[in-house]
Amino acid sequence: MKQAVKWGSRTITVILAVFLLITVFCAASSRMSGGTPKILGLNVYAVLSGSMEPSIQVGSIILEKPNVNANSLKVGDVITFKASQDEFGGQNNDGSAILITHRIQAIKSLNGKLAFQTKGDSNDGPDAQLVQPANIIGQYNNIMIPYLGYYLNFMKTKLGIALLLILPGALLIVSAMVSLIREISKLQKKMNSATKTEGL
């Protein structure tokens, strides 16, 4: 029983440490890159819409290659782009551009320039506006991690930052203190046992 509790405590400590490291890493990476976390040079985006299911699940995070060469894109590629002002409202509540991740359905020309017709895999029809190369910010790298997008999105809120930075750190400190108290208690028992033995 004691062994199970010990392993359970260690497991919780490791999980909290991992989440704390992810939080700190994403926060630092976002600051350095100007808003988008990066892993090994790839942009990290949280997917909070079901328009690309089942290919990309809601609540997942995806890794994308930045600095896309529009001329190398082809039909079937999945790209992330800034929504136009006329589509999807154009921007979030905080003023940042709305990002859409959809699949290229056709390559067309808009006023003599390259443009892409996109569509969400689960949507009935294509997006209303053609995507211009200047609005493309990433190409999906076929790497998806389920559910972590919920965590990443929550982490961006004020409450999320407070809880995810302070709470794991506090729990780790408490866990360390409990372990220290246990070790001190064990040491005291050994010392008491040795004193009794000497008295005999």
Question: Would you say residue 128 lies in a domain?
Answer: yes
Spatial contact of 45 and 39, defined as CB atoms under 8 Å apart: no
Question: Would you say residue 29 lies in a domain?
Answer: yes
Question: Would you say residue 51 lies in a domain?
Answer: yes
Number of compact structural domains in the chain: 2
Catalytic residue among 9, 29, 49, 55: 49
| pLDDT tens digits, 135-190 | 999 999 999 989 888 877 777 777 776 776 677 677 778 777 887 888 888 888 77
- pLDDT at position 32 over 60: no
| pLDDT tens digits, 85-109 | 555 555 555 556 788 999 999 999 8
Of residues 152 and 25, more confidence is placed in 152
| pLDDT tens digits, 37-59 | 777 788 888 898 899 999 999 99
Q: Same domain, yes or no, for 75 and 171?
A: no
pTM metric for this prediction: 0.65
Partners of residue 144 on adjacent β-strands = 62
Question: Would you say residue 192 lies in a domain?
Answer: no
Q: Same domain, yes or no, for 104 and 49?
A: yes
Domain range for 96 is 40-146
Q: Which residues, in sequence order, are CB contacts of 137 under 8 Å at separation 6+?
A: 43, 66, 68, 80, 81, 82, 99
Confirm whether 49 is a catalytic residue: yes
**DSSP state for residue 132 in the 8-state scheme:** P
